A and B are shown apart, each in its own frame.
Chain A
Amino acid sequence: MREEKVKKKVREGYAQIASNSSSCCGSTAADETGKSIGYTEEELQSVPEGANLGLGCGNPVALASLKEGDIVVDLGSGAGFDCFLAAKRVGEKGKVIGVDMTSEMVDKARQNARKGEYTNVEFRLGEIEHLPVADNTADAIISNCVVNLVPNKKKVFEEAFRILKPGGRLMVSDIVLLRELSEALKKRAPPESCIRGAIMKDKYIETIKEAGFQDVKIIEKVPYSEDVLRDPDAKVVVFNPEKNAEELKSLSELDEKTKEIAIEAMTASMSISVSATKPATKSSEA
Chain B
Amino acid sequence: MDILACPIDKYYPLELHVFEEKEEVTEGLILCPKCLRWYPIRDEIPEMLPDELRKENEDLPFLKKWKTKIPEKILNEGRPFNLKK
Q: Counting chain A CB atoms within 10 Å of each CB, which of B7, B13, B44, B50 scores highest? A: B7
Distance between B23 CB and nearest chain A CB, rounded to angstroms? 10
User: Considering the chains assembled together, what is the distance between the CA atoms of A133 and B49 in angstroms?
Assistant: 12
How many chain A residues touch B (CB < 8 A): the figure is 23
Instruction: Say whether chain B's binding surface is mostly helix, strand, loop, or mixed.
Output: loop
Distance between B39 CB and nearest chain A CB, rounded to angstroms? 8
User: Considering the chains assembled together, what is the distance between the CA atoms of A71 and B4 in angstroms?
Assistant: 13
A126 contacts the other chain (CB 8 A): yes
Contact B50 A127 (CB under 8 A): yes
Contact A125 B46 (CB under 8 A): yes
Contact A133 B50 (CB under 8 A): no
A116 contacts the other chain (CB 8 A): no
Q: Using A4-B52, A101-B53, A127-B53 as known contacts, say yes or no to A106 and B7 having CB atoms under 8 A apart.
A: no
A101 neighbours in B (Cβ, 8 Å): 49, 53
User: Considering the chains assembled together, what is the distance between the CA atoms of A192 and B53 in angstroms?
Assistant: 17
Distance between B44 CB and nearest chain A CB, rounded to angstroms? 6
Contact A71 B3 (CB under 8 A): yes
Contact mask for chain B residues 42-81; partner A; CB cutoff 8 A; 1 contact, 0 none:
0111111110110000000000000000000000000000
| Residue of A whose beta carbon sits closest to that of B52 | A4
B5 neighbours in A (Cβ, 8 Å): 131-135
How many chain B residues touch A (CB < 8 A): the figure is 21
Contact B48 A126 (CB under 8 A): yes
Which chain B residues (2-42) contact chain A, with CB distance < 8 Å?
Answer: 2-8, 10, 12-13, 39
Contact mask for chain A residues 112-134; partner B; CB cutoff 8 A; 1 contact, 0 none:
00000000000111110111111
| Residue of A whose beta carbon sits closest to that of B32 | A132
Which chain A residues (121-159) contact chain B, with CB distance < 8 Å?
Answer: 123-127, 129-135, 137
Binding site for A on B (CB under 8 A): 2-8, 10, 12-13, 39, 43-50, 52-53
| Interface contacts beyond A99-B48, A130-B48, A135-B10: sample of 11 additional A-B pairs, CB < 8 Å, sorted by A | A123-B45, A126-B7, A126-B49, A130-B49, A130-B50, A132-B5, A132-B48, A133-B4, A134-B3, A134-B4, A134-B13
